[in-house]
Structure 1
Amino acid sequence: MFEVTHIQKLGVGLVGFGVFFLFLGVLLILDRSLLALGNILFISGLTCVMGKERAYTFFFQRHKLKGTIAICLGIFTVLVGWPMVGMLIETYGFILLFRGFKNIYLFEP
């Protein structure tokens, strides 16, 4: 087994709060402040869980750079004040970034 550090536990909490605020922001008809807070908490929590070096190498691989740029552009668009366009750009970025995980099965077929 592996040991879970305090930073990773904090990261899981930040990711949870980030997902909650993103869900609440979408539920409340794309509230700009909740979406921005959710984005910031989610990205910082993901960095805490993965570690700085692993997160950097994950997000800035050559074939994932287009997805990373789309996510950053989407976050910036939400912060500027266009939450609908920003969430669409972020969704596109997440699809580009995590499309390599399509062959992972959650349940045995």
Structure 2
Amino acid sequence: MPIQLSNLQKIGLGLTIFGVGFIFLGMIFLFDKGLLVVGNILFLCGLSMIIGLERTVRFFFQSYKAKATAFFFGGFLLVLFGWPLIGMIIEFYGFFLLFGGFIPVVINFLRRLPIIGSILLLPGLRQIMDKLSESRSIV
């Protein structure tokens, strides 16, 4: 049963993918400030188009996620003002705090994919993924 997406959500998914791509390119090109800023903006715009602006604001500004949101947007501002390496480190920490609860879901989804799933089911990786999944589901 395929997931039904509206046209706006399809555009948001594309923007999110392009955002992640620009962030990846920005890191490859030795933390290029311009690529990282464009990637961050595309990622946030895409996320807000996928889940909606109101739900995005509610997600980021919940009281128990204040620290994670501060790290995420603080890192974004550091990248914007010319400290890309430090900003991305802080931003990734905030990203991990914000979206870390989704790690078990992502791992279980990846295990169902044909090639990636067989790699993740190898004995050494399976133990690591299981520990990572257990540690994030407790939080």
Q: Which residue of 2 aligns with 1:60?
A: 61
AA aligned to 1:28 is F
Q: Alignment partner of 2:90: what SS?
A: helix
- Structure 1: how far apart are the matches of 2:100 and 2:44? 18
Deviation at residue 102 of structure 1 after TM alignment:
4.1
**TM-score in terms of structure 1 length:** 0.90
AA aligned to 1:64 is K
In the TM superposition, what are the counterparts of 1:34-49 in structure 2 within 5 Å?
34-49=35-50
Q: Which runs of 5+ in 2 are unaligned?
A: 113-120, 122-139
Q: Which residue of 2 aligns with 1:95?
A: 96
Deviation at residue 101 of structure 1 after TM alignment:
2.6
Deviation at residue 16 of structure 1 after TM alignment:
1.1
Higher share in helix = 2
% identical equivalent positions: 47
1:28-69 CA distances to partner (integer Å, 9 max, x unpaired)? 110010000000000110000010121111111111121111
Q: Alignment partner of 1:36: what SS?
A: helix
RMSD over aligned Cα atoms: 1.7
- Structure 2: how far apart are the matches of 1:12 and 1:20? 12
Query: Which deviates further from its counterpart, 3-12 or 72-81?
Result: 3-12
- Structure 1: how far apart are the matches of 2:15 and 2:103? 25
**TM-score in terms of structure 2 length:** 0.72
Deviation at residue 3 of structure 1 after TM alignment:
4.1
Moved over 4 A (4+): none
- Structure 2: how far apart are the matches of 1:58 and 1:45? 14
Aligned length: 109
Query: Which deviates further from its counterpart, 29-38 or 99-108?
Result: 99-108
AA aligned to 1:98 is F
Q: Alignment partner of 2:31: what SS?
A: coil
- Structure 1: how far apart are the matches of 2:9 and 2:21? 18
**Structure number, greater radius of gyration:** 2
